[in-house]
Amino acid sequence: MSVEQHSDSRATKRAVLLVVTLTSFIGPFMLSSVNVALPSIGRELTMGAIVLGWVNMAYLLAGAAFSIPFGRLGDLFGRKRLFMSGVASFTLASVLIATAHSPMALVLFRALQGFGTSMIFATSMAILISVFAPDERGKVLGITTGAVYLGLSSGPFFGGIITEHFGWRFIFWVNLPVGLLLLGTIFILLKDDAPEERAPFDVLGSLILGPALFAAMVGFSLLPTYAGASLLALGILGIVAFVYWETKTQAPLIDIGLFRHNTVFAFSSLAALINYAATFAVSFLLSIYLQKIKSLSPQEAGFALVSQPFVQALFSPLAGRLSDKIDSRVVATAGMVATLVGLILLTLVGADTSMTFVLTCLIVLGLGFGLFSSPNTNAIMGSVDKRIYGVASAVVSTMRQVGMMFSMGLVMMVFAMYLGQAQVSSSNAPQFLHSMRVTFTACAVMCFIGIFASLARGRSRTRR
């Protein structure tokens, strides 16, 4: 029995909203908790700045490489079973990370965690959208996006407390009971949704896309080295080959026509990629800045970083409701403008900058991203037919992951240019601060371009 068949059931709607909200919370909570713990992880496992960047990079690479294939698999074989598999993989990886004793093991298990997350986010939004009417979607997307930001906002605070008093490994142990609770909740509350008829799955397209994205993003992070340029070129060729194959095969992984003929879908997806690329590195850089330059404890740094996602959590539900009533383009573009202002302010941060100014920057960024995210997602999901909700959801997830990877790749490239393999310390604080300003300047330029991408989408339209 499909989820769509229960779209008029209030109980089913509540169950789906509960489960998707819970899973929307846990992934971002983990990501932001780890950001605060990175300096402690680096000290214990003797990891330099570049290697430390791979703790997040591996997670994002795995998520981006598999999101679209998993979204298509969910459309073809049922989203519930893939959703559960993702939660199980995420939970197992958390236990393995908690027991890791080498940088290599930690990075590999983070990749496994990203693999599980890709299954979760490739299916969760599709499950949610399939049971709510078009005029309710902005509201529920605002709620789940608010849960994302609640996870992001509570992660630094609780992650800082846990790291300072119990050690960074306990952050990952927390996921074991939470994951088991989620698995039981999903199994009991969600209906099976396997379709009666199944189209073929594009295996070759999946095999091309994953390695192509991996090569492109790893290559970008290794620039300006020869190996980096070679991998980037190989990745771009792979993406071109993927697009060519998708236009020829009878059962494509993703209909390329969505990007050619659906301007709302195409430019909203591009705006999402740019927004995440311009903002994801902020918490990573400021976590190091606050602990290494401002000499705050992990708990104090987490408390400061909580301000941005807390504001996002406050404004996201409001922005979602607004996008049900007025054009999503207007709300999302206003958010992109506010984000640009926040990034410009961050380029002014130095060793002697007051905490009041840093917090102001984070609050402005939180306002911008809170206004942007749920209206932009509402525009994307409302522009496609329900038969491909899984693919559309996966595209949103992939844009997010690729944007985050691009952001981290930019950081790692700038670190390689100014810091090399050294750990951040008082001796190289000027080099770190210069790296941070260069990165924030590049992010501001991207966000400026993103404003025009958001405007170019045209008026949003909703398919029923």
Residues 6+ positions from 378 with CB-CB distance below 8 Å = 137, 138, 141, 320, 323, 324, 328, 460
Q: 88 phi and psi, to 5 degrees?
A: -65, -45
Rounded Cα distance, 336 and 345, in Å: 14
CATH number of 4-190+249-456, picked from 3.40.47.10, 1.20.1250.20, 3.40.50.620, 1.10.1040.10: 1.20.1250.20
Q: Which residues lie below 8 Å from residue 127, measured CB to CB, with a gap of 6+? A: 3, 16, 19, 20, 79, 80, 83, 190, 193
The Cα angle at residue 193 between residues 191 and 195, in degrees rounded to 5 = 160
Please state the domain extents for the chain: 4-190+249-456, 205-248
Spell out the per-residue pLDDT of the chain, length 464, in tens.
Answer: 344 444 447 777 888 888 888 888 887 788 778 877 888 888 888 777 677 778 877 887 887 788 888 888 887 777 888 889 999 999 999 999 999 888 889 999 999 998 898 888 888 877 887 778 777 777 787 788 778 777 766 777 788 888 888 888 998 998 899 889 888 888 887 777 666 566 778 888 888 988 898 888 788 777 778 888 899 999 999 999 998 998 888 888 777 877 888 888 888 889 999 998 998 888 888 988 888 888 888 778 878 888 887 888 788 888 888 877 788 888 899 999 999 999 999 999 988 899 999 999 999 999 998 899 888 888 887 777 776 777 777 787 778 878 877 887 888 888 878 776 666 766 777 888 989 999 999 999 999 999 998 888 766 655 54
Cβ atoms of 155 and 32 closer than 8 Å: yes
